[in-house]
Structure 1
Amino acid sequence: MPPESDVLMPITAVTPTAAQADLPLVLAGPLLRRMESQRLVLWLVGSRSLALTLQLSHGDASAPQRLSLTGDSCQVIQIGEQAFIHLIDLQLATPLPCDVQIDYDLLIEQSGQAAQGIADWAPHLLYNGGTQVNFVLRAQLDHILHGSCRKPHHPAADGLLCADHLLAEAHPPEQRPALLLMSGDQVYADDVSGPMLRAIHQVIERLGLFGEQLEGAVVDDSEALYRHPASYYQRAQLLPELKSNETLRERFFGGVEKPIFTTSSADNHLVTCAEVLAMYLLVWSPVPWTLLDSEMPPLTSDEVSRYQAEREHIEAFRGGLGQVARALAHMPTLMIFDDHDITDDWNLSAQWEETAYGHPFSKRIIGNALIAYLLCQGWGNNPDVFAEPLQAIQVMSAGRNARNQLGCAAQDDLIDQLLSFRQWQFTLPTSPTLVVLDTRTRRWRSERSLKRPSGLLDWEALCELQQALLDQSSAIIVSAAPMFGVKLIEAVQKIFSWAGHPLMVDAENWMAHRGAARVMMNIFRHSRTPGNYVILSGDVHYSFVYEVLIRQRKRGPQLWQITSSGLKNEFPPRLLDWFDRLNRWLYAPWSPLNWLTKRRRMQVTPRIPSRSKAGERLWNGAGLGQVFFNKQGQPSAIYQLNADGSPAVAFVDDRDKAPATAGEPSAVPATAKGDV
């Protein structure tokens, strides 16, 4: 049995094994995560446990500061024979300065060798021939980038490249973005291309990622899963042939047909914890791709054609990963999950929960994605709250059997713990206050029907939101799904929900649950909650901006719903054009339909995309959102940076001129304002 020190271990210089010696020292990262003047959090994955020293320097410092990362300042979790996640969480006695460039380096100590810095082991992270990477701690959140929905095999370009292009330009430190906020679907565990799944399996084998035993499937363990003929494009067949599993097969593994919006494909759904962990390495770093060959798995003739078509998109995605990794090494990044990080329609209704958690195999699939999310995303958001889950991971890993498979009972116990975990959300004491919501695990289940959509936050979570907002002058709220969406699309979702088919249209909006919608509106009306709210969202695969005024409260509050989606995903263009046009006709300011919505006590004014041709309010195109704030926490300029390289789109009030951007003329679309 492996010792516990294999999992959460002290950092000491070790002699690599023969297998490790053939691997790069660092497989992914560093990613800058939660960064404050007296606290720095960085994430990286090494092929061994690394002895690290952090070097910091800035203009006011007489000499670089070297900090040995030992003990609690660098925790290491082993996820494979040659794979170790490192979370650097460094508390500083002396605050770092704000709004100045701080250069940093991570020096790797090895026995009998000179220390290697980032320029040695990750030169692709350096800009313009520099020798070190850097970051800027902003005193105020006056410039933010945000986005969601990054599907590797989508034909669109990668929106995270926009962040790299922005950072590559010479900007004074005080003009750098304060944060990159990823508001969901950073990975697609439920929609995986054949070439990506093949890469995942090669990474698992090359790094010796830990296996596991499986219950409730036609295979006994992960190794049998990877070898099974149904492992590619046919994973629905991995469920045993039982009548009781038909609902599970339809709703979970087979994907849900969505004729209104999209067709969901789950035939390569990730199953094991190792598969999801390997996916994270492959979407955030170019290094693991260098360990792979181009060999195709055994496939049918039809599958070969699909595989080859998908490979073209995956190769394009892979080609930009060096730039993506460079941006993530230079800018603090915070993240929260949405459904595709785990599985499509995750916790959409009480009936979905009963079906998915009632079977050991689907529960394990969901739990594995949550374990990987904790280690690769959640941990870096708020390290303080994960002591107990990390201890459970230690127990699970220490219980590996002779075949290096995780302890089965301990893995199930960990999953039970994570499914009831209530601290995925987090708040930053910034200016403005930043509140990132968990809209997936704390659902307000419908009391009228198990089939009806659940509210995105339950009563207790909404009360916690109100407490976080009390006596704040302004706030930025990150909600994966828009709080104020497109009325027509919400109406379509409501019709399908009434008919008992909410899964067909992703009926996940804040207004779909009467109780949650009412409490949310009461929070905004509260006299002690902020006067200015900015709500950053993704999820929907198109971008839009609404300015919202609640009529029943004196002097506000003012709300801005700013949605940017997707990073590498788009809505079907013709369908979105029709939704946009019909929404403007049916919900014009004079339309009586406005009085049938839960927003009738609000004035909702759309901002118009500056490149709108006929008054469109929705912008369809992969890219990255960019928001500038004034000192009152109000958005002063809102853009969508386009991944295809076309000029940025400014969202403008039709009474004003569009904010100026480099290379883009002002545009003032003339459209009627009013409720939308």
Structure 2
Amino acid sequence: MELPAILAGPILRRVDTHNVYIWIATSSPFEIKARLFLIHPNRETASYDYSLLSSRSHAENIKLGEHLFIHLIHLTPINDSFPVNTLLGYNLFFSDESDLGSLGMLSPDDSRSIVYGPLRYPSFFINETETSRVLYGSCRKLHGKGQDALASADLLFEEVYDQLDQRPHSLFLLGDQIYADDVADPIFPSIFSIGKQLMGKGEDLSSIDARLLEKPFCHSLSQIRGRSFIMKNFCQFTSNQAHNHLIEFGEYAAMYLLSFSPQLWNLIQLPTFADEQLGGNIYFAFSDKNYLKEKLQNEERFNEQRKNLRSFIQSLPRISRLLANIPSYMIFDDHDITDDWNLSADWKENVRHSLLGRHVVANGLTAYWAFQGWGNDPASFAPSFIQMIENHFKEMKPGSSSYLNWINSMWDDPSWHFVTPTAPKTLFLDTRTKRTYDFSPRPVEIGNIISETLPSPQLISKTGFEQASASLLESGWRSGEQLIIASPSPLYGVELIQFALDSFVYPLRTFGIPVHEAIDHEAWKYNAKGVSEFLHWIFKWNPSDCFIISGDAHYASAAVSSFYMKKEKQKRIVQFTSSPLNNESFTDITAMMIKMAALLNVVPWKKQSMIQYCNDNYDLLPETSLDSCPSHCRWQEKLTFLTAEKGMMIETSNNMGLLTLSSQLAKNSLLSFNGTDKKEVSFKTINLTEHKNQP
């Protein structure tokens, strides 16, 4: 299989008035230059004119495999700054004398096109108007159920590409851009083989864990559904979908390329279950009378995943075009590395002391840096950090000094939070590697049984918040300005859903049932000490308006909270959650438990406003009014969930958020895609001026 020259991209990354970054992945080494154009509407000819703004570009690149080169092209202005609030376009030029046009990407009628309407180039604009429009979302799985909601944004751009007062200026991806632990059976063989081809060779995993030389692991490692035992017992991972878990860096790279671009899909013919079974490419745990049952289950799953993959593939040209035309910013959540990543102190220690487990986490984080993190804030990654990665990939020898430097650095060194140069500025939080864990017991009660268990983690430690705060202030943001905080995990969920998890699911740990590993239980509110730390920093920063955008929950919602600390302080927080982009999930036993809880708690579900407070023991307790909360409580809040059309409080189908902000109004809409058209529903618009004056 001959790899295409362009593996993925171009993807527009960090943009401000002095810098434009464009990401692209190639299969061969290229010198790449860029040109930036000012696009003028010509009313007389009903077309567009183009004038060169800047050809001052420099490309940083890193070789990660024999056929994997990641480039970050940096454009700077010839004069003082790039113009704002006007349409800009770009083209890339390669050392083989090709450009995006000769590759078919600038022809509107070509399936590879990344332009909108009659525009000659992919385009964007730098927003400095009173109104901000941001797209956001999370949880996008290749074989997720439903239609990819990210495609709805492309349809929106088809309508408003030249209407800057309606066109979103930034895309925020809030985690689970890939599912490293949940890989579809039909695509696993392609990921395995493409990974090897990208790298030029496989990783010497048996030198990390010699058990991989033994049967059945020496065979099952490359078979469909053959990795579950390895991931659980060798890596100490806890995902219950780890049958095809990504392990090698090349596999993570292949997954990103298949998620962002249609290029490699043109080389793939999805196999049938019969083909893979005949070739001996499927691992079966049973060989006795249970074999037939296992086979039937595997075949049904295979066919369902194959159908979902076909739907995903069809939308990829839209995704590729969208990513080329809007500055994007991306933070990880657990599935970008593995499910339950750093879920608990035990999880982190168990995996770190597993040679294979720590290797996989380092591979996942390096892939995150190369395909997502680098473009968020390129200046934050020192040349020595990039050189360390290069040194490792030149040798890729476990146990060598370059290997040890790499794996220790990926576990300990990077700071992944960042601040976008948008207006308003957005602080992206790292809720995975900056955690702290409480070891004080938490009492739980189920019927007549009273026991103790450990609380959920604080998603960001005090030190983590100090580092994030320093970055925020260094960005030029100042107290009294609007602030968006991007947190992969929501501060608020629909309280009934979280009540069901907290009251009915989480306490089962006291019986030794690892439900905290089977069901995500990582919202901020599951550790009131962590919430209190979060609120402390919001009060300290003192933004004029504070907005939290989140994902992860697999449902969308909107909430407004009034917080009070020590009675005299008050701060209002507005949270918008959009999830999932492509992973409809509320069809399993978890959904059944939540629905049962809804039946048992009709009043809390229907009641849109609720009062709660945090006592000295960091317990969150309900109350009937703010005046009823104890005077000595740490803080108290009034929480209201907003409704959308037809009284909807949550949306569980695939969706993408569209947030429109000004100094007076905040409007949150949800976009969805049905395979041909987009749909938009809106939550109640918030009047920020009125809201500031209400208790």
Which one-letter code corresponds to 2:242 in the other structure?
A: A
Q: Which residue of 1 aligns with 2:29?
A: 49
Could you tell me how far apart the structure 2 residues matched to 1:29 and 1:599 are?
Answer: 49
Using the TM superposition, give the Cα deviation of residue 92 of structure 1 relative to its aligned residue in structure 2, in angstroms: 2.9
Q: Is the 8 A contact 1:199 1:289 kept in 2?
A: no
Q: Which residue of 2 aligns with 1:543?
A: 556
Match of 1:639 among 669, 683, 689: 669
Q: TM-score, normalised by structure 1?
A: 0.82
* 1:144 is aligned to 2:176: no
* 1:652 is aligned to 2:642: no
Could you tell me how far apart the structure 2 residues matched to 1:226 and 1:125 are?
Answer: 43
Could you tell me how far apart the structure 1 residues matched to 2:612 and 2:426 are?
Answer: 34
Q: Deviations over 1:16-74 (max 9, x none)?
A: xxx9xx543211000001111110111111111112221221146974246264xxx21
Could you tell me how far apart the structure 1 residues matched to 2:416 and 2:622 are?
Answer: 29
Q: Is the 8 A contact 1:350 1:451 kept in 2?
A: no
Q: Which residue of 2 aligns with 1:67?
A: 55
Q: Which residue of 2 aligns with 1:505?
A: 519
Match of 1:109 among 95, 99, 107: 95
Q: Which residue of 1 aligns with 2:187?
A: 196
Q: Deviations over 1:596-621 (max 9, x none)?
A: 73686111111102133xxx421111
* 1:455 is aligned to 2:458: yes
Which one-letter code corresponds to 1:278 in the other structure?
A: A
Which one-letter code corresponds to 1:331 in the other structure?
A: I
Q: Is the 8 A contact 1:201 1:226 kept in 2?
A: no
Which one-letter code corresponds to 2:178 in the other structure?
A: V
Which one-letter code corresponds to 1:291 in the other structure?
A: L
Using the TM superposition, give the Cα deviation of residue 649 of structure 1 relative to its aligned residue in structure 2, in angstroms: 1.6
User: Could you list the runs of 5+ residues in structure 1 that have no partner in the other structure?
Assistant: 1-18, 240-244, 256-263, 657-673
Q: Closer, same or farther in 2 for the Cα pair 1:30/1:653, shift >3 Å?
A: closer
Could you tell me how far apart the structure 2 residues matched to 1:408 and 1:270 are?
Answer: 23
Could you tell me how far apart the structure 2 residues matched to 1:410 and 1:584 are?
Answer: 59
* 1:99 is aligned to 2:88: no
Q: Closer, same or farther in 2 for the Cα pair 1:217/1:97, shift >3 Å?
A: farther
Match of 1:164 among 138, 144, 154: 154
State the secondary structure of the residue aligned to 1:608: coil
Using the TM superposition, give the Cα deviation of residue 422 of structure 1 relative to its aligned residue in structure 2, in angstroms: 4.3
Q: Which residue of 2 aligns with 1:621?
A: 653
Could you tell me how far apart the structure 2 residues matched to 1:163 and 1:330 are?
Answer: 11
Using the TM superposition, give the Cα deviation of residue 119 of structure 1 relative to its aligned residue in structure 2, in angstroms: 5.2
Using the TM superposition, give the Cα deviation of residue 234 of structure 1 relative to its aligned residue in structure 2, in angstroms: 2.4
Q: Closer, same or farther in 2 for the Cα pair 1:591/1:433, shift >3 Å?
A: closer
Using the TM superposition, give the Cα deviation of residue 478 of structure 1 relative to its aligned residue in structure 2, in angstroms: 0.1
Could you tell me how far apart the structure 2 residues matched to 1:598 and 1:101 are?
Answer: 51
Match of 1:438 among 427, 430, 434: 430
Using the TM superposition, give the Cα deviation of residue 220 of structure 1 relative to its aligned residue in structure 2, in angstroms: 5.3
* 1:268 is aligned to 2:244: yes
Q: Closer, same or farther in 2 for the Cα pair 1:411/1:598, shift >3 Å?
A: farther
State the secondary structure of the residue aligned to 2:12: strand
486-495 vs 149-158, greater mean Cα deviation: 486-495
Q: TM-score, normalised by structure 2?
A: 0.80
Q: Deviations over 1:593-648 (max 9, x none)?
A: 87873686111111102133xxx42111102100100135x51x111111234631
* 1:288 is aligned to 2:288: no
Aligned ranges for residues 399-548 of structure 1 at < 5 Å? Answer: 399-400=395-396, 410-448=402-440, 451-466=454-469, 468=472, 471-495=479-503, 496-498=505-507, 499-500=509-510, 501=514, 502-526=516-540, 529-548=542-561
Q: Is the 8 A contact 2:546 2:574 kept in 1?
A: yes
State the secondary structure of the residue aligned to 2:113: helix
Q: Which residue of 2 aligns with 1:609?
A: 644
State the secondary structure of the residue aligned to 1:271: coil
* 1:394 is aligned to 2:409: no
Match of 2:378 among 383, 386, 390: 383
Q: Which residue of 1 aligns with 2:6?
A: 26
Could you tell me how far apart the structure 2 residues matched to 1:483 and 1:609 are?
Answer: 20
Which one-letter code corresponds to 2:559 in the other structure?
A: Y
Could you tell me how far apart the structure 1 residues matched to 2:65 and 2:398 are?
Answer: 10
Which one-letter code corresponds to 2:668 in the other structure?
A: I
Q: Is the 8 A contact 1:488 1:579 kept in 2?
A: yes
Aligned ranges for residues 548-563 of structure 1 at < 5 Å? Answer: 548-552=561-565, 556-563=570-577
Q: Closer, same or farther in 2 for the Cα pair 1:93/1:631, shift >3 Å?
A: farther
Q: Is the 8 A contact 1:399 1:407 kept in 2?
A: no
Could you tell me how far apart the structure 1 residues matched to 2:324 and 2:242 are?
Answer: 32
Which one-letter code corresponds to 2:407 in the other structure?
A: I
Aligned ranges for residues 206-225 of structure 1 at < 5 Å? Answer: 206-214=197-205, 215-216=208-209, 218-219=211-212
40-49 vs 517-526, greater mean Cα deviation: 517-526
Q: Is the 8 A contact 2:344 2:456 kept in 1?
A: yes
Could you tell me how far apart the structure 2 residues matched to 1:446 and 1:167 are?
Answer: 46
Using the TM superposition, give the Cα deviation of residue 581 of structure 1 relative to its aligned residue in structure 2, in angstroms: 6.2
State the secondary structure of the residue aligned to 2:212: coil
Q: Is the 8 A contact 2:612 2:622 kept in 1?
A: no
Match of 2:225 among 216, 225, 233: 233
Which one-letter code corresponds to 1:198 in the other structure?
A: P
* 1:344 is aligned to 2:374: no
* 1:326 is aligned to 2:321: yes
Q: Is the 8 A contact 1:609 1:619 kept in 2?
A: no
Q: Closer, same or farther in 2 for the Cα pair 1:175/1:195, shift >3 Å?
A: same
Q: Closer, same or farther in 2 for the Cα pair 1:592/1:74, shift >3 Å?
A: closer
Q: Which residue of 2 aligns with 1:279?
A: 255
State the secondary structure of the residue aligned to 1:204: helix
Q: Is the 8 A contact 2:3 2:264 kept in 1?
A: no
Q: Closer, same or farther in 2 for the Cα pair 1:200/1:518, shift >3 Å?
A: same
Q: Is the 8 A contact 1:146 1:182 kept in 2?
A: yes
Which one-letter code corresponds to 2:584 in the other structure?
A: E
State the secondary structure of the residue aligned to 2:179: coil
Could you tell me how far apart the structure 2 residues matched to 1:373 and 1:118 are?
Answer: 29
Using the TM superposition, give the Cα deviation of residue 492 of structure 1 relative to its aligned residue in structure 2, in angstroms: 3.9
Q: Which residue of 2 aligns with 1:4?
A: none
Match of 2:66 among 76, 81, 84: 81
Q: Is the 8 A contact 1:152 1:317 kept in 2?
A: yes
Which one-letter code corresponds to 1:338 in the other structure?
A: D
Using the TM superposition, give the Cα deviation of residue 436 of structure 1 relative to its aligned residue in structure 2, in angstroms: 0.4
Large movers: runs of 4+ above 6 Å: 589-596, 653-656
Q: Closer, same or farther in 2 for the Cα pair 1:168/1:592, shift >3 Å?
A: closer
Q: Deviations over 1:482-506 (max 9, x none)?
A: 0122333333444454535432432
Q: Is the 8 A contact 2:194 2:254 kept in 1?
A: yes
Using the TM superposition, give the Cα deviation of residue 461 of structure 1 relative to its aligned residue in structure 2, in angstroms: 1.6
Percentage of pairs with the same residue: 27
State the secondary structure of the residue aligned to 1:218: helix
Aligned ranges for residues 563-602 of structure 1 at < 5 Å? Answer: 563-572=577-586, 575=592, 585-586=603-604, 588=607, 597=620, 601-602=636-637
Q: Is the 8 A contact 1:424 1:438 kept in 2?
A: yes
Q: Is the 8 A contact 2:115 2:122 kept in 1?
A: yes
Q: Is the 8 A contact 2:54 2:78 kept in 1?
A: no
Could you tell me how far apart the structure 2 residues matched to 1:513 and 1:466 are?
Answer: 21
Could you tell me how far apart the structure 2 residues matched to 1:332 and 1:225 are?
Answer: 43
Q: Closer, same or farther in 2 for the Cα pair 1:472/1:118, shift >3 Å?
A: farther
Which one-letter code corresponds to 2:333 in the other structure?
A: D
Could you tell me how far apart the structure 1 residues matched to 2:622 and 2:168 are?
Answer: 33
State the secondary structure of the residue aligned to 2:573: strand
Using the TM superposition, give the Cα deviation of residue 81 of structure 1 relative to its aligned residue in structure 2, in angstroms: 1.8
User: Could you list the runs of 5+ residues in structure 2 that have no partner in the other structure?
Assistant: 41-48, 106-111, 285-294, 442-452, 624-635, 689-693
